[in-house]
A = this chain, B = another copy of it.
Amino acid sequence: MAKENKSFVKEITPQSEDFSRWYLDVIQKADWMDYAPVRGCIVFKPDAYEIWERCQQELDREFKRTGHRNAYFPLFIPESFFEKEKEHVEGFNPELPWVTEAGGDILEERLAVRPTSETMFGHMYAQWIQSYRDLPVLLNQWANVVRWEKRTLPFLRTSEFLWQEGHTAHATEDEARAETMQMLEIYANFVESFLAIPVIRGQKTPSEKFAGAVDTYSLESLMKDGKALQTATSHYLGQNFAKGFDIQYLDKDNQRKYVYTTSWGITTRLLGAIVMVHGDDRGLVIPPKVAPTQVVVIPIGPAKTRETVVPAAEQIVASLQSAGVRVNIDAREDVSPGWKFNEYEMRGIPIRIEIGPRDLENGQAVLVRRDTGEKLPVPLTQVDETVNELLATIQADMFQAAKNRMHEHSYVADDLAALVNYIQNERGLVLAGWCGDDACERAVKDACSATSRNIPFDPPAQPKHCVTCGKPAQYAVWFAKAY
């Protein structure tokens, strides 16, 4: 048994040795994905996909609660559509896959496989929206999108990925801006409370904003290797797409006016964020709220005691199921308990329950937390209650631990040398002043590969000078290396 453990644990590269290798080891060994035979594409295997389904259910309920409805728009976008918004075409053209033949014929106009659907929604909205009575239009779609990027990484940046894209049209700028912020806040609450991942809310600098947006807002989170990941974006598009696609409405004052639009999205890269924020050298650690399996029950002890131990374990399972817990049992006899412990730790199941003959004599079972390793003997009569409390505690503790980590790895830099030092030697997020000049932002990237993440709504400090040029700072900006 000890032997199995060792050989097994060896298979995951420690985070401290090579974080990227650790990440790739974990997602494959935990059976979350496999590489597909198409460049940069992966197969989302059931354990990962089920987490995505739970994210969908949770977010979809919030979208509907705030008045949005789902629809489905075509995968293919005619080439001419991209030309209608200048920044948009420049941003996305290099990444597009093109369908040039279909049904045995060469197409007259090439069709892009959608990288995002502002153009398609824009085209349809122009036909649907005639009067102020038609506004607002609040639609969302769950879909696959494709971006043929040079460097890919499973979940975080794949050629094809899954996401939702909300597209709304409003009569006024105020309303569209309120929508943009409302959706960012829905994302923030979801990512923090459901995925236990702390976020920084803020605005992207012009160089980092969405191609075609007036303003892009983002959530930024810190991974365990000190790199940042953008976990959600919400765009205020102003009248850019309204003008490109001629989306006008007749207002109450009998004037024709352009609408104001927004778009907002969250993607399957969240799966990668869960791994990189919570995982450790033993494997995944999945937040209870999103875990497909929250508890695994493992009967232990010598073969001759199975007759009494397994039924007791099954009773725990049945009871937890009635209490609304997602629970499995692993009573296989051809695999050792030690192997199972490692296996379910690697898969990140929040709670393991061990029960053996001695536990049974004492009328108890042992709960083991995945996040802390803590072992809690619990009377059999109190298992349901304790598990439900413990799941909530684990969820809260995981969030707090991630939050503490983020604070510990947040720095404030007064000048470029200090910023570079933090990025290269401490790793993490560095807050710095910025004058607003693109060149000063670029200088940071050139110096240490860190990019501006966002201009936080609520910065922990207000640096006085631009980190590059020393002129008065207009903004406090978070810089970090990023995925």
Contact = CB atoms under 8 A, between A and B. Distances in A.
Given A70-B53, A111-B38, A46 B98 contact: no
Interface stretch (A101-109, A206-214, A303-311, A354-362): A101-109
A101 B97 contact: yes
Contact of A46 (B36, B49, B69): B69
Contact of A43 (B53, B95, B124): B124
Contacts of A95: 103
Contact of A71 (B44, B96, B97): B44
Given A42-B74, A50-B70, A103-B148, 17 more contacts: A34-B127, A36-B73, A36-B120, A37-B123, A38-B78, A43-B73, A43-B124, A44-B72, A45-B71, A46-B139, A74-B160, A75-B160, A97-B99, A97-B102, A97-B103, A98-B100, A102-B148
A41 B71 contact: no
A316 interface: no
Contacts of A124: 34, 36, 43
A101 to B, nearest CB: 4
Nearest to A123: B37
Interface string A126-141: 0110000000000100
Contacts of A41: 74-76
Contacts of A53: 70
Chain A interface size, as a band, is 35 or more
A103 B34 contact: no
Interface string A11-37: 000000000000000000000001011
A144 B75 contact: yes
6 contacts: A75-B144, A75-B146, A97-B99, A103-B148, A103-B149, A113-B113
A69 B102 CA distance: 32
A71 B43 contact: yes
Contacts of A380: none
Quickly give the copy total for this chain.
2
Contact of A96 (B97, B102, B143): B102
A400 to B, nearest CB: 32
A98 to B, nearest CB: 4
A102 to B, nearest CB: 4
A69 B49 CA distance: 9
Contacts of A73: 36, 43-44
Nearest to A111: B38
Nearest to A76: B38
A194 B102 CA distance: 36
A101 B103 contact: no
A363 interface: no
Nearest to A97: B102
A413 interface: no
A150 interface: yes
Interface string A159-177: 0101000000000000000
A144 B143 CA distance: 8
Nearest to A101: B98
B102 A99 contact: no
A373 interface: no
Q: Which 9 pairs show the lowest CB-CB distances between chains A and B?
A: A103-B148, A97-B102, A46-B69, A44-B72, A41-B74, A102-B148, A98-B101, A36-B74, A100-B100
B120 A74 contact: no
